[in-house]
Chains A and B, each alone.
Chain A
């Protein structure tokens, strides 16, 4: 366990979130939201928010550990977060821990779960969801997955589970989830949004490894690889 100051951030969703915790208590929490058009501004916002959060905590000298959400989420967002984390860790010789973004989101949902299991869901586009099932300490009961809502609801039904869902994915598919008996946090509940203090919290309990081992959890392969495989399977078809 690390009781010292941890600077953590996450770019898996449209918000760039940054926090510093000391002994588990947040001393800085910052959030940069998408611009008016809804486009995330991770490249333009993240590093400035990180520098400001470090200043909030009394300067970089106070920071003992870096933590970054490794996804799943939008590929470009994840890469900006992980790349920035690796660069800062490399240049400042700080230990770096990568934590699951869904597990971090799950910790926020757990604050309202009253003992229920939590289902953090991130909109994965293409009518799919990134999700995980976590207990109230953010520990995964189901590993992060990508699935359509029907597939997810079938799996929950098979397991006889009625967890509490949150995240932008749960908002997008609220009607479908609720009709299958899954509770979704109220629209305005802050548990829908990533909070970087949860990234710090998860990172406190992990022993840091090499910086280059911190990689995005894409969960999806590049489209070109999938197409390539399909073509190899059906060699008669021309692209």
Chain B
């Protein structure tokens, strides 16, 4: 097997990992949530400054936890995009520097391919073909996975990401940051049918998502209720909003599972499983509803461990196994993408 040291700094987590084939030897994640909390969202400049300070200790920790020195590493891997450009550059500059110093090859990895490839890691890897829904504060992607080296974009958000919509809703409701867990907590005591929020795109044959109308509907509801009314109905608002987000995600998954817009599912493009990735995949209601869908459609449900589900570098190393590395010195001029 071959040892890959991977770095991931596309958003607000500083991550490094050592992966040996499909086995995760170390997976270090330094979260910056506390640094961004007071802003109610991720501030790119703040994220970049933190990445710079954290990246070297995080790389050291990943090597130490894996019990290997840099000389034992066969190749390095790094997320080149998409993400916050200034944040990506910290990982790219660091990976290039280390790889060049050690004269090792370097794999450039697409962040979303990383989320998909998290499903190929031990302890319970799955094999294509499967559907993969990646939903977080940065992305909402429905991917069709038929091989290891890439994925087909079946649908993606046309405006806000699902996690971004939850963050904005949490802010409107005064529930703090990050919004996903805050909304979920508040929703537990609420009635998801109390408010009727639009489930955008539900009847649209395409597999794309849209959450901006939903956010606007919540804004109107909050305005109409006023401060006191909003506080009084906050649990209902959170529950109804969460349900509308989840409904849309599940509706598109169902449509994709049944073979896309109009086509009947044929034996050739039958999906074996649905995999969930990204921070929003931690949402209990989403997990419950997707489990029901899998049951009804005869599909396996794949939920990776939490530390492989949110942004991490082990998934980047996993994807790197299927991406040809650039030998030294071919990557010296790499920029973030």
Contact = CB atoms under 8 A, between A and B. Distances in A.
A61 interface: no
A216 B90 CA distance: 13
Contacts of B100: 47, 51, 88
B100 to A, nearest CB: 6
A224 B101 contact: no
Residue of A44, A75, A91, A218 with most partner-chain B CB within 10 A:
A91
Interface of B: 38-39, 43, 45-46, 48-49, 52-53, 55-57, 59-60, 70, 85-86, 89-90, 92-98, 100-102, 329, 332-336
A73 B336 CA distance: 20
Nearest to A81: B93
Contact of A75 (B48, B53, B335): B48
Contact of A47 (B46, B56, B97): B97
A56 B48 CA distance: 33
Contacts of A44: 333-335
Contacts of A60: 101
B48 A48 contact: no
Interface of A: 43-45, 47-48, 51, 60, 75-76, 79-80, 82-88, 90-92, 211-212, 215-216, 218, 222-225, 228
B48 A79 contact: yes
Nearest to B85: A76
A45 B38 CA distance: 36
Given A43-B89, A44-B335, A79-B52, A225 B46 contact: yes
Contacts of A218: 49
Given A43-B336, A44-B335, A212-B56, A83 B97 contact: yes
Contact of B56 (A43, A75, A90, A225): A90
A43 B335 contact: yes
B97 to A, nearest CB: 3
